[in-house]
């Protein structure tokens, strides 16, 4: 068995966080929380500066402990960056007489949003220069580009803080003028009525950041006087507003984990009232697709893996729904891309994605074939309703991201663009596998694996195990040019498709949430055990990584299987589950009750307390840990990982390393530029390489 080289860690004292006991009593259960005070920066309390001082001390400590990797981090950053084609252009998409695309320029962090009229040979119109707009901002995100039906006006939204609170702007594309109508504190999307004057958008609660209201804005009016057209009373639901692809309807979607509701308005008459499509029903999710002569409804009503129903345009109540495509217990219907004469239906079967093409005229259906054991396929940008050509994306662990155009009538496909990996990339130099591990309750859990040819599968290679496992979000096998820096240095990468995602169907998600959440954590540990037993690695060379809810996974794994992992990377980890879910002033808390449970209810409280990483820190040896967070994170607040690290440091035994890195400028998604985020990846990789003894000897003197 390969042993680690002796690793040198500087003799630097780790920060010790102050203790200010806080007592929580609920359900006759009393808990002392010594680090509750770290919420103060978020709450603007009297200890706010002490929070900042502590985070900066932890950053300084992390920099000291990884100081001998500084050269390696710089090398890795340029290595990662060198694979990215700096001067590049997206595949143009056609909408309403124009081709739209974005392009990047060498040396610039952001992009330009452009269009050409009628043909790709036409003169370019530069609609937005994000490189220029972002100048002077530590963080800058622009999204929600929405052109008015007459092609004259562009609505777009900007976040400069990284808390996903967007301000909507409107630009006159003929004059270049930015209108004074600046609509603040929104979700970002702006939807045009067909009068080219009316905009609909989702307003956020400035404290909880919940999406609570759909507002109507008329150009030239004061946003403070915008009209409320819909208010969500259920604080466990998310809401959004959009437009049907055929342009006929403005659509409001309200959806929680368990039920949903849709409201419609005729886009030609945007000043009229919305009408409910079908009032929400307990434990029934549904979404609506508008065709020329009917609505299609994708729903789990009496169909756990969803089925497709249909109804007349003027009779939308559930009593009028008829079966269009019935439920299949082994196939999850996840999405529908509609066209005038075709449907592209995204499905999941045996843990893999597939695309079915349905001809609305002939009522015939066929599937696309992809020819790899593990891959990801999905509808790409398809904004033109009157088209028989489907754009879809395709990738795998070894196939770079690709965009194809498929003629659904003559069944011919064309590769429009494949991600170019600069410096040369030989797909045949890497091997991908798909295996199944048996979890402790007998369930087979898929694992997608990739490694470079020549890597020994005798337990001596280091292996990075990754998963997410929440919200029904499926972690499908995709290509990453950054991952090559691991594979080329002998790492194996294992993507574990644990319960809590939807890879194996809706039941896969149901079995990994609420009062069955432990399945998520046990699946991950059991997959790691399987990888060891089958000689992909040993515990001395096994590493784990996950972010956000996947960071919760990392925290639980560190508690329940510390001996199985040599190191863990927890990115923006959701690790203080009970306290966060008890505080409904924290952004998104109430939206999450259907995922984790409501701890104001005794059974849910004690269940989540039994796994919450912060609640279950024990006096024992933990794996080496690198924890990352962002001061402005709106999804998982900075104080969760900060408290977790402070308590771990005060409790754990042994000589393993515990590092906390807080980005003081960014939030949940990290840096906004297309290169800055690579610095965090370089830090994470350097952490792994140091634990493997792969730092050059001269750097450890």
Q: What is the largest CA-CA distance in the chain?
A: 77
Contact predicate 378/393, CB 8 Å: yes
Distance CA 410, CA 342 (A): 12
- The single-letter DSSP state of residue 14 is P
Q: Which residues pair with 433 in a beta bridge?
A: 449
Nearest to 518 by CA among 579, 466, 469, 574: 469
Distance CA 32, CA 36 (A): 9
DSSP-based three-state secondary structure for 250: strand
Tokens of 418: 């494949």
Phi/psi for 112 (5° steps) reads -115, 135
Burial of 415 (0-12, 13-18, 19+ CB in 10 A): exposed
Dihedral, CA atoms, 331, 332, 338, 339, nearest 10 degrees? -20
Sequence-distant (≥ 6) Cβ neighbours of residue 567 within 8 angstroms: 543, 544, 623, 624, 625, 626, 687, 688, 691
Contact predicate 452/500, CB 8 Å: no
Contact predicate 624/567, CB 8 Å: yes
- Cα 381 from chain centroid? 18
Element at 187 (helix H, strand E):
strand 183-192
Q: What is the DSSP string of 360-408?
A: TTT--EEE-----SS-EEEE-----SS-SEEEEEEE-SSSPPEEEEEET
- The single-letter DSSP state of residue 621 is B
- The single-letter DSSP state of residue 440 is T
Nearest to 594 by CA among 213, 237, 210: 237
- DSSP H helices in 481-546: 484-487, 506-510, 518-533
Nearest to 685 by CA among 108, 78, 15, 139: 78
Sequence-distant (≥ 6) Cβ neighbours of residue 426 within 8 angstroms: none
Sequence-distant (≥ 6) Cβ neighbours of residue 128 within 8 angstroms: 112, 113, 142, 145, 154, 156, 171
Distance CA 240, CA 282 (A): 20
Contact predicate 62/660, CB 8 Å: yes
Burial of 696 (0-12, 13-18, 19+ CB in 10 A): exposed
Residues with catalytic roles: 548, 633, 668
Distance CA 438, CA 240 (A): 39
* Residue with tokens 């994470």, as numbered in its chain: 684
Distance CA 198, CA 527 (A): 52
Distance CA 610, CA 306 (A): 33
* Residue with tokens 């690290």, as numbered in its chain: 645
């Amino acid at each position: 068995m390969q042993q680690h080289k002796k690793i040198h860690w500087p003799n630097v004292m780790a920060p010790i966080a102050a203790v200010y006991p806080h007592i929580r009593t609920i359900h006759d259960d009393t808990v002392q929380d010594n680090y509750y005070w770290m919420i103060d920066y978020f709450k603007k309390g009297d200890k706010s500066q002490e929070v900042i001082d502590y985070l900066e001390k932890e950053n300084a400590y992390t920099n000291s402990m990884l100081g001998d990797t500084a050269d390696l981090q710089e090398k890795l950053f340029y290595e990662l960056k060198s694979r990215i084609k700096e001067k590049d252009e997206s595949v143009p998409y056609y909408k309403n007489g124009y081709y739209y695309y974005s392009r990047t320029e060498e040396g610039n962090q952001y992009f330009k949003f452009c269009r050409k009229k009628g043909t790709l040979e036409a003169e370019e119109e530069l609609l937005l220069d994000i490189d220029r707009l972002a100048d002077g901002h530590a963080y800058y995100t622009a999204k929600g580009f929405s052109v008015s039906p007459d092609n004259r006006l562009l609505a777009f939204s900007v976040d400069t803080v990284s808390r996903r609170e967007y301000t909507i702007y409107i630009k006159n594309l003929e004059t270049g003028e930015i209108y004074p109508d600046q609509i603040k504190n929104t979700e970002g999307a702006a939807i045009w009525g067909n009068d080219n004057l009316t905009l609909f958008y989702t307003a956020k609660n400035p404290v909880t950041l919940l999406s609570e209201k759909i507002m109507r804005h008329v150009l030239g009016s004061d946003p403070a006087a915008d009209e409320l057209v819909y208010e969500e009373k259920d604080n466990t639901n998310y809401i959004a507003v959009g437009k049907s692809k055929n342009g006929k309807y403005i659509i409001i979607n309200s959806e929680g984990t368990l039920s949903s509701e849709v409201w419609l308005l005729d886009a030609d008459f945007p000043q009229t009232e919305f009408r409910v499509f079908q009032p929400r029903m307990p434990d029934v999710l549904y979404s609506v697709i508008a065709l020329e002569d009917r609505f299609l409804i994708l729903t789990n009503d009496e169909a756990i893996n969803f089925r497709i129903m249909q109804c007349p345009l003027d009779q939308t109540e559930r009593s009028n729904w008829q079966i269009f495509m019935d439920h299949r217990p082994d196939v999850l219907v996840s999405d529908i891309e509609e066209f005038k004469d075709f449907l592209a239906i995204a499905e999941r079967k045996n843990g893999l994605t597939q695309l079915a093409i349905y001809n609305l005229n002939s009522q015939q259906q066929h599937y696309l074939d992809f020819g790899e054991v593990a891959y990801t396929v999905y509808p790409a940008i398809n904004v033109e309703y009157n088209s028989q050509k489907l754009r879809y994306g395709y990738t795998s662990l070894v196939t770079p991201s690709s965009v194809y155009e498929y003629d659904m009538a003559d069944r011919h496909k064309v590769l429009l663009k494949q991600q170019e990996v600069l410096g040369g990339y030989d797909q045949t130099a890497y091997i991908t596998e798909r295996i199944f591990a048996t979890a402790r309750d007998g369930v087979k859990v898929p694992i997608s694996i990739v490694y470079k040819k020549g890597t020994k599968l005798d337990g001596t290679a280091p292996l990075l195990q990754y998963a997410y496992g929440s919200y029904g979000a499926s972690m499908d096998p995709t290509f990453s040019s950054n991952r090559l820096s691991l594979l080329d240095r002998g790492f194996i990468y294992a993507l574990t498709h644990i319960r809590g995602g939807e890879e194996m169907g809706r039941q896969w998600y149901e079995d990994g949430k609420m009062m069955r959440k432990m399945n998520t954590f046990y699946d991950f540990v059991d997959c790691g055990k399987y990888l060891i037993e089958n000689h992909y690695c040993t515990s001395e060379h096994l590493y784990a990584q996950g972010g956000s809810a996947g960071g919760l996974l990392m925290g639980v794994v560190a508690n329940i299987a510390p001996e199985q992992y040599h190191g863990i990377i927890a990115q923006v980890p959701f690790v203080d589950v009970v306290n966060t879910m008890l505080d409904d002033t924290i952004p998104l808390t109430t939206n999450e009750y259907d995922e984790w449970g409501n701890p104001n209810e005794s059974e849910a409280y004690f269940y989540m307390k039994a796994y919450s990483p912060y609640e279950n820190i024990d006096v024992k040896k933990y794996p080496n840990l690198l924890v990352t967070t962002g001061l402005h994170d709106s999804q998982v607040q900075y104080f969760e990982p900060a408290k977790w690290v402070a308590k771990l440091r005060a409790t754990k035994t042994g000589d393993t390393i515990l590092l906390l890195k807080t980005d003081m400028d960014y939030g949940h998604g990290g840096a906004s530029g297309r290169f800055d985020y690579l610095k965090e990846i370089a830090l994470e990789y350097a952490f792994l390489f140091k634990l493997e003894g792969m730092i050059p000897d001269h750097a450890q003197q």
